[in-house]
Amino acid sequence: MTNTEIIDRIRQLKKEKNAVILAHYYTRPEVQDIADYLGDSLGLSQEAGKTDARIIVFCGVHFMAETAAIISPDKKILIPASGAGCSLAESITGYELREWKKANPDGIIVSYVNTTAEVKAWTDICCTSANALKVVQSIPPDHKILFVPDKNLGAWIRKVTGREMELWHGDCCVHERITTDMILEKSRDYPQADILIHPESHCSHDEAILNLPQAYMYSTAGMIRHASRSDKKQFIIATEIETIHKLKNDNPDKEFIPVHPKTICGQMKKVTLESVLEALEKEQYVVEVAEDIRQRAWAPIEKMLQIK
């Protein structure tokens, strides 16, 4: 089948089965283009909760589909690529959090939303890269904090807030590659450009980066908003490279320069048009979360959503 035939068949099945397609900014451009909703992991899960669709095809990695299942237990959540994992989410387990809690009964565990349902179930409050600063600042200063699992996001929060936290040593294999030297080299090559950096990046808490006047630390959604509102014509993008597809679509008159051509998440690329079609046809790779885990995992997400 040609891509056009696959897309036509996907659209037909969506109508027949009352399904919607959610796609992350890091998926392939052709997958982004067929999505009903395009966004980051939490934003997509929130969209899953709002829709009346019976089936959600979640084009992303496994923990994202789990989050959708936590928020929308009444819907069938499908993931097109069953083996799509995440180095960050897989760097920590619920058992390790239980052990920390035993040693620190009054401590607060803050988990980045890029974690498994099991980890969320042992978490006190979740955060996203967009609201992490507010979440940490909401915790009384007399409480010890363990921030999991992203060491770079945690180090950036610690640097900006001055709040002492114990950091887990996990990382995103894509953002861990983004170094200070890469940023500085690109800033010399494009001196007029704004530099949009994801706080998961290895360089996010480096003084040399924080002192750059044209550098901004953003979630992916924040980057997209900044580029649309800015009068600048050039932007250096320090996150997964497929984000540029959305940025170009929204701003065809602006130039977006990847900080490095290899900022690619191979796990996200496992989702293809063919796998989306197969997931819809067979209703396969259903992602489910046991009800006891789901209820416990929902509590820290709900607590996060209450912080304004």
pLDDT digits 0-9 by tens, 97-146: 999 999 999 999 999 999 999 999 999 999 999 899 999 999 999 999 99
CA distance 235 to 254: 8
Do 160 and 299 reside in the same domain of the chain?
yes
Do 209 and 246 reside in the same domain of the chain?
yes
Residues 6 or more apart in contact with residue 287 via CB below 8 angstroms: 58, 62, 65, 66, 68, 69, 77, 78, 79
pLDDT digits 0-9 by tens, 207-226: 999 999 999 999 999 999 99
Do 118 and 101 reside in the same domain of the chain?
yes
Do 211 and 242 reside in the same domain of the chain?
yes
Do 299 and 158 reside in the same domain of the chain?
yes
How many domains in the chain? 3
Does 64 score more than 80 pLDDT? yes
Do 274 and 259 reside in the same domain of the chain?
no
Mean pLDDT, to the nearest integer, of 30-38? 97
Do 256 and 282 reside in the same domain of the chain?
no
- pLDDT above 90: percentage of residues in the chain: 94
Confidence of residue 308 (pLDDT cuts 50, 70, 90): low
- What per-residue confidence (pLDDT) applies to 101? 97
Do 251 and 183 reside in the same domain of the chain?
yes
Do 144 and 70 reside in the same domain of the chain?
no
- What per-residue confidence (pLDDT) applies to 161? 94
Do 159 and 298 reside in the same domain of the chain?
yes
Confidence of residue 49 (pLDDT cuts 50, 70, 90): confident
Domain that holds residue 44: 1-84+266-288
- What per-residue confidence (pLDDT) applies to 77? 96
Q: What rounded mean pLDDT belongs to the chain?
A: 96
pLDDT digits 0-9 by tens, 135-158: 999 999 999 999 999 999 999 999
Do 59 and 134 reside in the same domain of the chain?
no
| Contact in structure between 59 and 35 (CB atoms under 8 Å) | yes
Do 125 and 183 reside in the same domain of the chain?
no
The CATH number that applies at residue 136 is: 3.40.50.10800
